[in-house]
Structure 1
C-alpha cells in the first residue's frame, strides 16, 4: 500500500491561537473545499485524515525546541543524568528552567498535545456520524484514533500531573472526548488515568495486526502504549500481558545488535515498533531531534554531550559504546564525550518505541510478580545481545531491579527520556554526578517533575482557576 503522509483535512490548520477548545485547536479545514461529508464517505478519506494527524506528530510548530512529539521526548532526555546539553535549544530544559507558566515547554507541550487530541475527537465524531463506512472500517479507524488519544493524554499526565504513586494529588488537565468550543475545568488523577486506560483498552479490542507501515497504529502499538501506562501505574500483571502482546514474547526474534551502530534513522529497522518517518520533501529539518542535536559529524547543532559517569557504565565490547572524545577535551570537561548513536540527515526517521523497551517492561513486571528467574532471563537476552562478552547475571533482589533500570538507561539514552520517566514514576529523584555542565539534585517527587499549567490557558479558560499553579 502506498504511504500517505499528509492529509488535505489538516493542511490549513492554524497553530497561532490559544486555549483548549476547538476554537484554538481548529476543526479540520480543507484547502480546496473538501467537506467532512466527502472525507467520511469512504475508508480512503478517513485514512487520509489519519495520515494528516500522524504527520502532525513530527511537525514544525513554535521553534526548534517545540516542533513535534520528538521535542517532548528530547526535552525529557536532557533532564536526566546521561546527556549534557549546551545552552542552546533545550538548554533551559537541561537546566530545569523551562517549566514556568509563560515559558516554552509548558505552552508547547499543552498546545501540541491538545491540538492532536482535538483532531482525534473530530476524527472520531466523523467516523461515528458516517452512514457510508462499514462497521469494520469504523471499528478499525476509530480504534486508531482512540489509541493515539490515549497516548497523548498519557503525555499530558507525564508532563502536567504528579506521579501516579505520588500523594500530592495535583489537579490534572481537562478531558475532552468530543469536539467542543467550551473549555473544561481540571480533572482528577483518577479520572485522567481512567480515560487513558479506557481509550487504550478499547483501541486494543478493535485494532488488527496489519497497518500501512511503522508510522501507523496497529494492535501491537496500542499494546505497547498500554504496557507503558500499566508500568507507570504499577499494574504489573497487565503490564506484562501488554508488553508480551506488543513484542511477541520472543526477544531473539526482535533484537538486532548490528543495527545499533547504523544511525537510528530508519523506521524499517527490525527493532522499531513505532516511529516518525521523514522524506526529503516532508522533513522537520533541524527540528529532527535527537539526530540534529546529538550528531557531531553532520552539519547540525552539535549540541549534546555525554556524562562521563554514564560512559563508564559500558564495557568496551558493548555495541552501544559509541562514545569518543571527538574534540580532544580535557578529562572531566563537560564536552569530553560525544556519541555517534544518531546520524543526522533531513530525512532521518525518528524512533519512538522500540521492542527492547517492551522486553525490559516485561522483565520489570516479572520482578514485581516474584519471578526473578524470568527477569534474569529477559535481562540477559538483551545484555548478551548487546555485548557478546558479557556474563549472565546472578543478581537478585534490589540488585536485580537496579540492573533492569540501568539497562533501560543504557539502551535508550537520547531517545525517550527514560531516566526522567523512571525517576518520576518510581519517586527516585535525579542526582547528576561527574562532568555535568549543570549539577542538579531533584529529590523524590520534586515539583520540578511537573510543568505548570500555561498562563495563556488560564487566561483563556474561565473554568480553570488562576490558583491552579499554587504549589505546582
Structure 2
C-alpha cells in the first residue's frame, strides 16, 4: 500500500483510559491538537518535536505508571490493597475475570501508545525536511516508547499481537493473531538498539529535568530486557554503559525520588510535581492509604546492627482504629505542588541488573561489589565475602524487593521471570494457581478479533 502523506495522526487517548481518582492533573507538555495532518506535523523540526512531546503526554494521561504498579503489586506480595473496589480486589486474590475493566484498560492503553508511536515513526521516516540529528533523536524516542509498551504487554499477557504499522493499515491489522513472545522480545531489542544508536547522550535542555529519553535510557531498558531474556553477557554490557557514566549517582534515600535526583535516568515531568504514587500512597493522618506495604515485606528489612535507610525513609507506620499500616513514603507529596516526577528508570536497577548478570556468569566478586553499592546507599554493611552464587542470587532478589517495592511491577515481574512465583506466592495467596502468572486477554478483544486466544485459566 502506498503511503499517503495525509495520514491522520491521533495523539490524545480516547475515553476509556484508567485514571485513579486521587491522581494529579497532568500538564499537556506541548502536544499538538488531537489530530494533525502528517505532512504538516513532520514538515519542521518544531512541529515534529511537538508530536513526540505528545507521546510523553499520552504516557501520563493513560497513567501507565499507576496501572503497571498498583495491579501488579497487589497481584504479587509487595503491595496491600485496603479498599473494596471489586475490579482491584481481583488482583489481590489473583482471581481476575477476563471481563475485568482494569485489565482491559491496561491492554487498550498500551496499544494506544503503540498506535501513536507507529504513526510518529512512519511520519518521521517519510519526512525529508527535518534536521538529520533531530530526526534521529525523535525516531529514537518513539521507538523507545514502543519498546516500553511492548515490554509490559509481553510480560503481563504473554504472546500478544505485534502491530508495527501506521493507521493506514488499521483495517488489515485489526485481526492480528497473538505473536510468539520471543518475536515480540526480538522487536523490543531491535527498537531499543536503534533508539540507542540514534538518540543523543545529553538530555533535552528545554524539557523537564531528565524528562526526555536519551541514549542512557535506551541502554538501561536494554539491560533489563537482556536480563529477562537470560542473556547475561549483554545485560552486564548495557548496565555497565549506564553505570560508567559520570552523569548518574546514588543520593541518600531521602533525596533520590526528588526530580533533581542524580539517580534519575528517565522521568515523566508534569505541572504540579505530584505523582500518582504520592497521591495513592500518602493520605491524611486519620485516613488509610489505598495501598500500603504488607507486614511481611516491612518486617523483612534488616535492623539487627543498623537500620536500613530505605525502611526509615520509604515507609511510615500508621495506626488507625487500632490497626497498623505501613505507608509507602518514597514519594512525599500527595497533593498541591511538589518537586517529584514519575521516575521510570533509575540507577539502582542497573547495579542490581549487573549484579545478577555477574552472579549468573560466576563473577561473584563483581556481583558483590554491585550489591554493596546499593546496600551502602541504604546504610548497610557489605554482603558476606564468602557468599556463593545461590546466596548472592537470593540476596539480589531481596535487595530488589527492598529497593523497588511499589514501583512499576518489579516484584511481580521478578518472581515470574525467575520462575519463583509459585513458590513465593502460593503460601500467601489462598487461591493461587500457576496460570495466574499471566493476566487474561480482555474478553471484549477476543469477541472482536476471533484470531485472539485466551490465556489458560481464564477461558470461562
Question: Would you call these one fold, judging by a TM-score over 0.5?
Answer: yes
Classify the TM-score, shorter chain: 0.7 to 0.9
Matched, 1:71 2:57: no
**What residue ranges of structure 1 are gaps of 5+ in the alignment?**
1-7, 18-28, 61-66, 162-171
- The residue correspondences of 1:66-465 to structure 2 (distance < 5 A) are 67-88=63-84, 90-97=88-95, 99-161=96-158, 172-179=159-166, 180-182=169-171, 183=174, 184-212=176-204, 213-248=209-244, 254-257=249-252, 260-262=253-255, 264=257, 266-280=258-272, 288-297=275-284, 302-314=289-301, 315=303, 317-322=307-312, 323-327=315-319, 335-343=324-332, 344-347=334-337, 348-388=340-380, 390-394=381-385, 395-429=387-421, 439-440=429-430, 442=432, 446-464=434-452
Task: Output the CA distance in 2 between the equivalents of 1:30 and 1:320.
Answer: 41
Task: Output the CA distance in 2 between the equivalents of 1:300 and 1:119.
Answer: 39
Preserved contact between residue 384 and residue 392 of structure 1 (Cα < 8 Å): no
Task: Output the CA distance in 2 between the equivalents of 1:132 and 1:110.
Answer: 35
Partner SS, residue 319 of structure 2: coil
Mark the CA change 1:329 to 1:208 in structure 2 (over 3 Å): closer, same or farther.
Answer: same
Preserved contact between residue 429 and residue 442 of structure 1 (Cα < 8 Å): no
Mark the CA change 1:308 to 1:329 in structure 2 (over 3 Å): closer, same or farther.
Answer: farther
Task: Output the CA distance in 2 between the equivalents of 1:276 and 1:95.
Answer: 31
Mark the CA change 1:423 to 1:440 in structure 2 (over 3 Å): closer, same or farther.
Answer: farther
Match of 1:168 in 2: none
Task: Output the CA distance in 2 between the equivalents of 1:292 and 1:378.
Answer: 32
TM, length-normalised to structure 1: 0.80
TM, length-normalised to structure 2: 0.82
Partner SS, residue 311 of structure 2: coil
Partner SS, residue 198 of structure 1: helix
Moved more, 8-17 or 369-378: 8-17
**What residue ranges of structure 2 are gaps of 5+ in the alignment?**
1-7, 18-30
Preserved contact between residue 435 and residue 456 of structure 2 (Cα < 8 Å): no
Task: Output the CA distance in 2 between the equivalents of 1:261 and 1:69.
Answer: 21
Q: CA deviation at 1:144?
A: 1.4
Partner SS, residue 290 of structure 1: helix
Partner SS, residue 353 of structure 1: strand
Moved more, 342-351 or 367-376: 342-351
Q: CA deviation at 1:122?
A: 0.4
Mark the CA change 1:430 to 1:320 in structure 2 (over 3 Å): closer, same or farther.
Answer: farther
Partner SS, residue 310 of structure 2: coil
Mark the CA change 1:363 to 1:432 in structure 2 (over 3 Å): closer, same or farther.
Answer: closer
Preserved contact between residue 215 and residue 275 of structure 1 (Cα < 8 Å): yes
Partner SS, residue 58 of structure 1: helix
Superposed CA deviations along residues 319-339 of structure 1, whole A, max 9, x for unmatched, are 111344321676xx6x44334
Q: CA deviation at 1:452?
A: 1.4
Preserved contact between residue 69 and residue 408 of structure 2 (Cα < 8 Å): yes
Task: Output the CA distance in 1 between the equivalents of 2:38 and 2:164.
Answer: 19
Mark the CA change 1:383 to 1:302 in structure 2 (over 3 Å): closer, same or farther.
Answer: same
Task: Output the CA distance in 1 between the equivalents of 2:290 and 2:164.
Answer: 39
The alignment covers a number of residue pairs equal to 417
Superposed CA deviations along residues 25-82 of structure 1, whole A, max 9, x for unmatched, are xxxx96498532221011111111111111111215xxxxxx3333222221222223
Mark the CA change 1:329 to 1:409 in structure 2 (over 3 Å): closer, same or farther.
Answer: farther
Partner SS, residue 326 of structure 1: strand
